[in-house]
Amino acid sequence: MEMEALESCGAFMEKFTLQPICSASEELPLNGLTFAVKDIFDVEGHVTGFGNPEWANTHSAATSTAPTVVSLLNAGATCVGKTVMDEMAYSINGENFHYGTPINPVSSDRVPGGSSSGSAVAVGAKLVDFSLGTDTGGSVRVPASYCGIYGIRPSHGVVSTAGVIPMAQSFDTVGWFARDLRILKLVGSVLLQSDSHSVGPSPTNIYIAEDCFKLLDSKSNYQLIDTLVNSTRKLYGSDDMIKYLSLGDYIEGNVPSLKKFMTIGTCSNVECSYIPSSLRALSCAMRLLQMYEFKENHGEWVSNVNPSLGPGIAERGQDALKTTDENIDVCLAVKAELRAALTALLGDCGILAIPTVPGPPPKLRTDTTALEGFRAKAFSLLSIAGVSGFCQVSIPLGIQDNLPISVSLLANNGSDWLLLNVVEAIHNVLQEYI
């Protein structure tokens, strides 16, 4: 059993085979491809474990399969199992107190990222061609970055979340991972339910959020910006479409409801002083609404069962149970204002570039208090797409100091195919600079 776990990098909760729902002779976009699903998706006849053994023991097997999984089977893919996830989707580390930590295929002494940890590792370790995860606060984007693969958080509301255990519906999305950009797009051709991927407009502008890149160390900051600028210049033949901005200042000036959160949710770590105050406030608003919705979804079960939860997750769960509806209306106003502000900035064809995460994956078993500053910077970046509902792709940029690095591109809600096409175009040029 230990050897099997080692060979699969600890990525899987259980292995099984769901064959494609089609005839072998049909020409379908995902023919011959294998995938795995996070243990948050319903699969008929299997208990959806939600990362916690007590959840699994107190819930019955699913009576139907999530429509997203069915769509992939209908498109010719074969599902080979369910993957490990962080408990109740409440962490971005990827360490599971009960089931173990999937092994990061790029750096085995580092966390794989969560909460879609097993799904990212299964792809990064070449165990499957692609995999499904969910992203509420960063649970596809973070493990994609840490495992050196592609990961997409699509526009909020575009991909069905039916048959998926909710974490916080204001932010929940179904995303996916792939090593190969071609496969990332093929899965998109099935899940995004659009035929506009073959031909689309070119981006009007690519905005580089300089203040966000300053959250990285200086070496990574300059390297990522130079790589982006050089690739864009070569691809589009002009510097005119490259725009630099302070995203924090722009948000502060165009999202008035954020003022409510400017003085709460402060972080004592010195690293937090580098975070633009509006992005820190945005992260605070996101976390409050996330906690409130988590309580509405799962508070009764947590209170009744009193499950054993791992470090960090136990504290977050208890904090969530204490939330009230105070300021929830302000959080919803922030969501609406941020989407309007970023739509005004990007329009339908603009692209925003930010770091996916503020640095390389942390070492395994790092104390949660030691990660306070890193987490604060991470969520200030992750909250941009999370709160606005915009789509985001994390793009692997190779290895720096033996650790994976990445950058992210964002586009307006509903502009997923523009984003994927731009990622593809830039990817082809990026290879020269990596």
116 is catalytic: no
Question: Pick from 76, 1, 84, 65: which is nearest to 33 by CA?
Answer: 76
Q: What percent of the chain is helix, strand and coil (3-state, nearest 5)?
A: 40, 15, 40
CA gap 78, 371 in Å, rounded: 38
CB proximity list for 336: less than 8 A, separation 6 or greater: none
CA gap 369, 68 in Å, rounded: 37
CA gap 106, 314 in Å, rounded: 29
322 is catalytic: no
Beta strands 403-411 and 150-153 are unpaired
State how far Cα 122 lies from the chain centre: 16
Q: What is the CA radius of gyration of the chain?
A: 20
* The token pair that represents 84 in the structure block: 């490990």
Catalytic entry in 38, 185, 295, 335:
38
380 is catalytic: no
CA gap 333, 256 in Å, rounded: 9
177 touches 191 (CB < 8 A): no
Question: Pick from 404, 368, 310, 413: which is nearest to 105 by CA?
Answer: 404
Catalytic entry in 8, 131, 139, 408:
139
Catalytic entry in 8, 115, 116, 231:
115
Active site residues: 38, 115, 139
